[in-house]
Amino acid sequence: MLYRLREAGFSTRVYEAADGVGGTWYWNRYPGARCDSESIYYNYTFSEELYREWTWSSRYPEQPEILRYLNFVADKFDLRPDIQFETRVNAAHYDEETKRWQIELNDGTSVSAKYFITGVGCLSASNLPKFNGLENFKGEWYHTGHWPHHKVDFTGKRVGIIGTGSSGVQAIPVIAREAEHLTVFQRTPQYSAPARNHPYDLEYIKRSKENFLEIKKQMRESQGGQPVEVPTKSALEVTSEERQQKFEEAWQTGGQGIFTSYYDITVDPKANETASEFIRSKIGEIVKKPEVAEKLKPTYYYGTKRPIIDTDYYETFNRDNVSLVDVRTNRIEEITDNGLQTTEAEYELDVLVFATGFDGMTGPLLKIDIRGKDGVSLKEKWKGGEDTRTYLGVANAGFPNFFMITGPESPSVLSNMPVSIEQHVEWIGDCIEYMRENNIDTIEAKVDAEEAWSKHCREVAEATLFTKTDSWYTGANIPGKPRRFLIYLGGGGAYRQKCAEIAANGYEGFSLEAASEPVTG
């Protein structure tokens, strides 16, 4: 966004809480952290030169490599001089008199801006559940989403990990190899498929670079931001042998192939059950102790929590130094001086890892006191999350000249994030340029356009199984958070087209107010 606006001649300043670039890939340094989109599609595409200059080592690179990439981008485009690091935005208030945003920073200073854009991500507000007694724990404890910069040494230690989402599933096999003993505290078992990560061969990389424009086009037009074959068949219209073969091929290839095998996997409970049962049967084959395998078998609709890909996750439970505790039945009562007490036993621990996720979607935005017209905060407008509504996931009625990159009700986390980020960046950049060219002072979503978009999002989501599962997608992971599914499921390609049409129609659904004087940056 900085690059896009700076290139267009706008004076632009970025505020960043960390002391470096990278966002998610800056904070999530836990062992085993890696990307689960294929790396050749996990890129910016605004610069072909950048695409050609960077070479990924493998299909699913690890966090340090992705962070290196983001630093490479920041250096290549000389972004750092316009980024103020170690600075949090505490508040942003719209002043109706001046038609400007007043932005309060945590260093006590404030700045005034014509446009206020958030790039806070969907998963940056980490969730540390309130367990009694954590302050008394004598060992070390860490959250995967705020991992320290130094290496955490698990050698010879008794480690406990709470949480078996994507972060836990990635961290568990790596920690298990180092720790004396690892106890996994699992509340909900997860479906995971092998990643089968492998180094890229040079020919493959060469071809992808040569085909940059075609790959870019496919990413932008696709449903999920990666050129994946769109399934045309129902899981229920094929024979069980054909289905089994398809799932088996996906399992052997590794990655998200089961999720994208049939079009009705996340829509029809019976179709879903075929994929769910396939993975459960794999768990039964891999995990040697039947009672452990049973505990690891999920029952929710496969894919309605983020589908996970792993490296040796289920295999890790065959290790002698790993044990699994089901905290759904054997509840966590408190953290003690020496470990963790459940209703049935106390577990002595030297290190406790919280892989307990994030207050997703709205959490990062609501951490900032954002106030639009009449001093109404975003929190008030969204009724604390009971009535979160946006226009296109990018704008809000009552909040002129405020844009959210990958905000609630856009495709965001159910797409390949770099593609969705770029789409918003381009759209917002074009919009601000249009305003300058047409001497428009403010742009604001109309209430009825917002209502219609929000309703459309809900209708699309309600037609799927996603809303039927407790997950961070629905907000169910945060006690007391109103349940709302805030991801647009109509597909990234179709969404891009819709946004483009709205812009082409003079920003349909927005009120544009002409400026009395020429608009500058």
Contacting positions for ligand NAP (CB under 6 A): 35-36, 123, 129, 144, 162-168, 170, 187-188, 306, 327, 332, 355-358, 413, 472, 477
Whole-number minimum distance, CB 323 to ligand NAP, in Å?
A: 16
User: What is the SS3 assignment for 172-224?
Assistant: HHHHHHHECEEEEEECCCCCEEECCCCECCHHHHHHHHHCHHHHHHHHHHCCC
Whole-number minimum distance, CB 125 to ligand NAP, in Å?
A: 11
**CA dist., res. 513 & res. 506, Å (int):** 12
Whole-number minimum distance, CB 26 to ligand NAP, in Å?
A: 14
Antiparallel, parallel or unpaired: β 110-113 and 116-118? unpaired
Return the number of other C-beta atoms located less than 10 Å from residue 360's C-beta.
27
Between 280 and 381, name the residue whose CB sits nearer to ligand NAP.
280
List the structure tokens of 464. Answer: 């799927």
Q: Are 162 and 356 in contact (CB under 8 A)?
A: yes
Between 130 and 240, name the residue whose CB sits nearer to ligand NAP.
130
Whole-number minimum distance, CB 360 to ligand NAP, in Å?
A: 7
**CA dist., res. 492 & res. 47, Å (int):** 20
Residue whose CB is nearest to ligand NAP in the complex, by number: 165
CA atoms within 13 A on the CB side of 46: 20
Between 144 and 454, name the residue whose CB sits nearer to ligand NAP.
144
Between 411 and 429, name the residue whose CB sits nearer to ligand NAP.
411
* 80 membership: H or E segment, kind and range: none
The contacts found for 512-517 with CB under 8 angstroms, 24 or more apart, are: 512/435, 512/438, 512/440, 512/442, 512/443, 513/400, 513/440, 513/441, 513/442, 513/443, 513/444, 514/439, 514/440, 514/441, 515/439, 515/440, 515/441, 516/441
Antiparallel, parallel or unpaired: β 83-84 and 89-95? unpaired
Per the rule left: phi > 0, alpha: psi between -120 and 50, beta: everything else, 57 is alpha
**CA dist., res. 10 & res. 521, Å (int):** 4
Between 143 and 216, name the residue whose CB sits nearer to ligand NAP.
143
Between 325 and 397, name the residue whose CB sits nearer to ligand NAP.
325
Whole-number minimum distance, CB 519 to ligand NAP, in Å?
A: 38
Whole-number minimum distance, CB 352 to ligand NAP, in Å?
A: 12
Whole-number minimum distance, CB 325 to ligand NAP, in Å?
A: 10
Between 45 and 188, name the residue whose CB sits nearer to ligand NAP.
188
Residue that has been written with the tokens 């960077």 in this structure: 54
Whole-number minimum distance, CB 301 to ligand NAP, in Å?
A: 13
Whole-number minimum distance, CB 454 to ligand NAP, in Å?
A: 22
Between 436 and 484, name the residue whose CB sits nearer to ligand NAP.
484
Whole-number minimum distance, CB 179 to ligand NAP, in Å?
A: 19
Beta bridge partners of 34: 62
Chain centre to alpha carbon of residue 397: 25
Give CA torsion, residues 177, 276, 486, 393, to 10 deg: 80
Q: Are 119 and 365 in contact (CB under 8 A)?
A: no
Whole-number minimum distance, CB 298 to ligand NAP, in Å?
A: 9
CA atoms within 13 A on the CB side of 292: 19
Residues 6+ apart with CB under 8 A from 448: 509
Between 5 and 332, name the residue whose CB sits nearer to ligand NAP.
332
Between 125 and 332, name the residue whose CB sits nearer to ligand NAP.
332
CA atoms within 13 A on the CB side of 329: 5
Whole-number minimum distance, CB 190 to ligand NAP, in Å?
A: 7
Between 163 and 400, name the residue whose CB sits nearer to ligand NAP.
163
CA atoms within 13 A on the CB side of 390: 25
Between 163 and 398, name the residue whose CB sits nearer to ligand NAP.
163
* Dihedral (CA of 298, 301, 304, 307) sign: positive
Whole-number minimum distance, CB 356 to ligand NAP, in Å?
A: 4
Between 171 and 235, name the residue whose CB sits nearer to ligand NAP.
171
